[in-house]
A and B are shown apart, each in its own frame.
Chain A
Amino acid sequence: MTEPILEAKGLVKRYGRVTALAGADLDLLPGEILAVIGDNGAGKSSLIKALCGAVVPDEGEIRLDGRPMSFATPVDAREAGIETVHQSLAVAPSLDIAANLYLGRELRRKGVLGSVFRMLDRTGMREEAKRQLDALGIMTIQNPGQAVETLSGGQRQAVAVARAAAFGSRVVIMDEPTAALGVRESRAVLDLILQVRDRGLPVILISHNMPHVFEVADRVHIQRLGRRRAVVDPKSISMSDAVAIMTGAMEPPE
């Protein structure tokens, strides 16, 4: 069996008297799309937040390529090569596409202009943004200088995915990427997710949408009551059985 790229063991996270994670595990294998499903309150969000550094788990460990990691902030996780597309997208609407792609890691001009005057390399960032959008087949955004708030929901999602794909060197995590989208836009975002995987980046996909999960996922992680209840193969289990395991109506198959 191949070694997992990202591995979480026994994660515990409590908020006061509420236990969001009660010893949760997770394995992500190289080159796969792992879907994480679960009912509301099953601990999906807390699990993902722990993996991307947005919350620090009380107990448990996270390993990336077998090395133990401790993420105190989202920046730590990013520096380790884990990029996250948050449900809120985490884009600044009034900034343009290129600025958003490089938000928090702007490029500076070379030489004195950059080191002394701290000037941003605007042209460089725009060109690189365009290259990244092209690489994902989003070449029809003509102008990386366009403000994100003038884009449609699907286009904003594409910008967020492009950012994750451009900078993620190990893992991309996507939290409900199709939740706010129409049918056509969801379709396109699913294609983007497949493209990210085909470029060799493993993806963790959190979604409520069973048809989407069963269409793109290689394995499905079912989260229940703060723990991993089962990992199933979407090709060998029906959607209704997966939902039954998720809600506790059925025992997972051995």
Chain B
Amino acid sequence: MGPAELLGLSAVTALDEHQSRSPLSRLQHLLHSQATIGPAVVLLIAVVVFALLSERFLQPANISLVLQQVAVVGTLAVGQTIVILTAGIDLSCGAIMVLTSIVMAKVAAETGLPGLPALLLGFLVGTVCGLLNGVLVTRLKLPPFIVTLGTLNVFFALNLWYSGSATIRGGDMPKLLLWTGETFTIAGTRVTYGSIMMVLLVAAAAFVLKNTSWGRHVYATGDDPEASRLSGIRTARVLLSVYATAGAVYALAAWILIGRIASASPQAGQFENLDSITAVVIGGTSLFGGRGAIVGSLIGALIVGVFRNGLALAGVDVLWQTFAVGVLIIAAVSIDQWIRKVKP
């Protein structure tokens, strides 16, 4: 019995094993290696069903509406996914977004600061807020849930204080801040620049996570922090960069939010934190870290958007839309638990 035999995964035995597996076990292995397949299938089925239920569903105007509704939460979900991949969670994402949108809009409206510097200031605020989360998680070694629950309240209070609980009207802002809400037409569908920005962000984040050392270290840190540390990964630095990056992403979401509602409101989007977590979880990313993908989170956000929109078009009461989203969350997490128990 040599090492070679021990590791007897020769092509033949691997094939035999594969054939002897039950269909259920094969499905488990498929989902294990490709976590995004599940959500993609769910989205596809949902689209087909809702298209059959209502002929308005697939009309360009409706698709455009769904995309606009999903743009903000889809952007937040990118930051949320990176955080959750490290086995963390970010409850403060909505609060950071609202605070950032208020800062950008109010500074520009009151001081006449042009659009670009106002935008950059917003990104700075978002990044600093994220960095604060990261410092509390890595230096004080507090659980991310507690840290971001705390900062959620802190940031939201700062937002109310700075805004004086007053909405800043779109007309008082530089055009650039509202640009994300402007549209152009492809194939008869009006698409906002904000939606396009979200899609580009998802693509960029997916590339970075999959193809760079940093991305790999994010996964490894969430998977097994001690093993990562022993392998020479500076896990504290990875976590800091993750929370700071997430903060910058929330600032982008803030920009998209201003375009979407054509104003900056201290009350807008404060519950988007739970919606972003919902999108990430439904998208197949594991709350226990180390497993999942950004594209899944976009699909997750789309699933929620399509469910709400489709059920509304089918004339179903709003409360059942919420009910359906709840069932989806439970189902997604159950499937994740099952996938994790994959046997060699």
Number of A-B residue pairs at CB separation under 8 A: 131
Query: A74 touching B229 by the CB < 8 A rule?
Result: yes
Q: Kindly provide the distance from the CB of A168 to the nearest chain B CB, expressed in whole angstroms.
A: 13
B-binding segment of A17-25, A91-99, A200-208: A91-99
B291 interface contact, C-beta 8 A: yes
How many residues from B make CB contacts under 8 Å with A?
38
Q: Take A74-B230, A92-B220 as given contacts and tell me if A154 and B212 are in contact as well, using a CB distance cutoff of 8 Å.
A: no
Give the residues from 110 to 144 in chain A that come closer than 8 angstroms, CB to CB, to chain B. Answer: 117-120, 122, 133, 136-143
Neighbour of B2 across the interface among A133, A143, A188, CB < 8 A: A188
Neighbouring A residues of B7 by C-beta, 8 Å: 133, 138, 140-141, 154-155, 158, 188
Among the 9-residue stretches B9-17, B101-109, B133-141, B155-163, the one with 4 or more Cβ atoms under 8 Å from chain A is B9-17
A133 to B6 Cα, complex, angstroms: 13
CA of A140 to CA of B1, assembled, Å: 13
B203 at the interface (CB under 8 A from A): no
Q: Is the CB of A84 within 8 A of B213?
A: no
Q: Are B32 and A147 in contact (CB under 8 A)?
A: yes
Q: Is the interface of A mostly helix, strand, loop or mixed?
A: loop
Q: Is the CB of A93 within 8 A of B224?
A: yes
| Closest partner residue, chain B, to A185 (CB atom) | B6
The answer to whether the Cβ of B63 comes within 8 Å of any Cβ in the partner chain is no
Interface on A for B, CB 8 Å cutoff?
Answer: 54, 73-75, 78, 84, 86, 88-95, 99, 103-106, 108, 117-120, 122, 133, 136-143, 146-147, 149-152, 154-155, 158, 184-185, 187-189, 191-192, 195
Q: What are 25 inter-chain pairs, A to B, with CB distance below 8 A? A: A54-B230, A74-B229, A74-B231, A78-B232, A84-B230, A88-B227, A92-B227, A92-B228, A94-B219, A95-B219, A103-B227, A104-B228, A104-B232, A117-B211, A118-B211, A119-B211, A120-B211, A139-B4, A141-B7, A150-B29, A150-B342, A155-B7, A184-B6, A188-B6, A195-B3
